[in-house]
């Protein structure tokens, strides 16, 4: 493992990419800027939020048919936190690890065909949709999972002291949302999930993402070998970076979250500079990849719905996004697990409920993972 270095700023601007954004795509439903036929924005690690607009005729129906959605509201019923109508939105974003099909080759680890939530983030979009806070949930957090009913109608019993990502592997999207709402007391307005294969292809379609590493990163399990310095990561390298937990820091999930957050900011900045609107084929390829990559809640289950949702997020750049890790402490009984720091976490949840910034005191003195500044 590389020696520790003094933390550096987590993000640098992508640099010289072409900032032009014009294009001539047609639309069935023309927004105020009619030439922007489609917008692709990505958050994750998966934490990617990939959103698309529409074309006409075949293109529209093809993209619409790509999207897979699940009816979270039907599965969870009425026993949920009350929606707070203050103009804000809360979105649970998951990066999924199915360990099957193409994802099995990308994900490594055990080949049992089960589904896992490899990355989880709560994205809070503030009133006015100019700022956002992102709270990463360590998958190794021990939680009390509530009883939940999945989207197939099967009820799963409650369980105490289980890893957070066990909720997804037990009951899929509905149980993951139920568990997050139980922990936070906050209703999730939307759900977005991105899988390994889609994430990797999206990065390749974008032409890679520019990052700088301040240390060598080598993790054979994540197929990652990067020397310190500037890189344009292809899809496989980007996937390795956001999944590595052995190549940097203390080898924990917390260190991986810090890499994910740095990469996501770099990705958001790069998407703003990619001139996809001048290249119709690249535009379509991105739209096709994006809509195949995501699973959404049913309220976002069409291209039109995703386009409208994307329109409300397009003004949020990385400089207007605060990213933190849910306050946790290492479990004294097992250093590979973490426990929710309840009093600190309450500061986070109260801030989001009231549409306020997350106070610095919420994360002071909590476990960090020691990987800050490794990627900029």
339-359 average pLDDT score: 96
- Report the C-alpha gap between 102 and 86 in whole angstroms: 42
Cβ atoms 299, 190 nearer than 8 A: yes
Q: So what's the pLDDT on residue 38?
A: 34
Show Cβ contacts of residue 360 under 8 Å, excluding neighbours closer than 6 positions. none
Q: So what's the pLDDT on residue 375?
A: 75
321-332 average pLDDT score: 93
More confident residue, 6 or 158: 158
Show Cβ contacts of residue 132 under 8 Å, excluding neighbours closer than 6 positions. 123, 124, 125, 126, 313, 316, 320, 321, 322
Cβ atoms 177, 372 nearer than 8 A: no
- Least confident range of 45-59, 117-131, 205-219: 45-59
pLDDT of 348 above 70: yes
Cβ atoms 273, 17 nearer than 8 A: yes
Show Cβ contacts of residue 232 under 8 Å, excluding neighbours closer than 6 positions. 207, 208, 209, 210
- Report the C-alpha gap between 174 and 170 in whole angstroms: 10
Residue 129's CB: how many other CB atoms inside 10 A? 16
> Which residue, among 162, 188, 193, has the nearest Cα to 349 in the 3D structure?
188
> With bands split at pLDDT 50, 70 and 90, how would you rate the model's confidence at 58?
low
Write down the pTM of the prediction.
Answer: 0.80
Name the average pLDDT for the chain. 77
Fold of 57-362: Aminopeptidase (3.40.630)
Q: So what's the pLDDT on residue 275?
A: 56
Q: How far is CA 343 from the centre of its chain?
A: 25
Show Cβ contacts of residue 313 under 8 Å, excluding neighbours closer than 6 positions. 41, 49, 51, 125, 129, 132
- Least confident range of 28-42, 212-226, 257-271: 28-42
- Token readout for 344 is 């600190």
More confident residue, 270 or 35: 270
Q: How far is CA 355 from CA 97, 133, 206, 349, 362, in A?
A: 32, 10, 33, 10, 15
More confident residue, 338 or 253: 338
Q: How far is CA 87 from CA 126, 182, 201, 301, in A?
A: 7, 22, 34, 21
Count the residues in the chain.
376
3-class SS letters over 231-248: EEECHHHHHHHHHCCCCC
> With bands split at pLDDT 50, 70 and 90, how would you rate the model's confidence at 369?
low
Domain boundaries, the chain: 57-362
């Amino acid at each position: 493992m590389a020696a520790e270095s003094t933390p550096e700023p987590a993000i640098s601007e992508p640099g010289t990419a072409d900032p032009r954004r014009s294009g001539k795509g047609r639309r069935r439903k023309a927004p105020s800027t009619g030439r922007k036929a489609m917008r692709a924005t990505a958050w994750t690690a998966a934490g990617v939020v990939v959103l698309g607009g529409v074309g006409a005729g075949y293109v529209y129906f093809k993209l619409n048919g790509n999207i897979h959605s699940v009816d979270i509201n039907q599965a969870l019923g009425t026993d949920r936190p009350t929606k707070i109508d203050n103009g804000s939105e809360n979105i649970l974003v998951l990066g999924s690890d199915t360990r099957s099909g193409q994802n099995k080759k990308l994900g490594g680890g055990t080949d049992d065909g089960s589904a896992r939530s490899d990355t989880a983030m709560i994205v809070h979009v503030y009133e006015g949709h100019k700022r956002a806070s992102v709270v990463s949930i360590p998958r190794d957090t021990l939680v009390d999972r509530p009883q939940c009913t999945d989207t197939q109608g099967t009820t799963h019993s409650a369980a105490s002291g289980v890893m957070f990502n066990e909720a997804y592997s037990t009951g899929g999207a509905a149980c993951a949302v139920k568990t997050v709402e139980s922990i936070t007391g906050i209703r999730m307005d939307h759900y977005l999930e991105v899988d390994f294969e889609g994430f990797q292809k999206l990065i390749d379609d974008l032409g890679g993402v520019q990052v700088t590493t301040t240390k060598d990163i080598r993790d054979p399990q994540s197929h990652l070998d990067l020397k310190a310095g500037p890189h344009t990561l292809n899809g496989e390298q980007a996937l390795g970076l956001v999944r590595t937990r052995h190549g940097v820091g203390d080898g924990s999930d917390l260190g991986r979250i810090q890499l994910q957050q740095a990469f996501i900011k770099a990705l958001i900045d790069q998407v703003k500079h990619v001139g996809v609107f001048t290249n119709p084929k690249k535009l379509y390829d991105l739209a096709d990849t994006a809509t195949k990559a995501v699973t959404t809640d049913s309220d976002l289950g069409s291209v039109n719905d995703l386009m409208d949702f994307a329109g409300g997020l397009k003004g949020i750049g990385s400089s207007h996004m605060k990213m933190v890790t849910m306050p946790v402490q290492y479990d004294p009984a097992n250093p590979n697990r973490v426990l929710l720091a309840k009093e600190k976490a309450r500061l986070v949840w109260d801030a989001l409920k009231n549409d306020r910034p997350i106070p610095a005191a919420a994360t002071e003195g909590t476990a960090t993972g020691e990987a800050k500044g490794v990627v900029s």
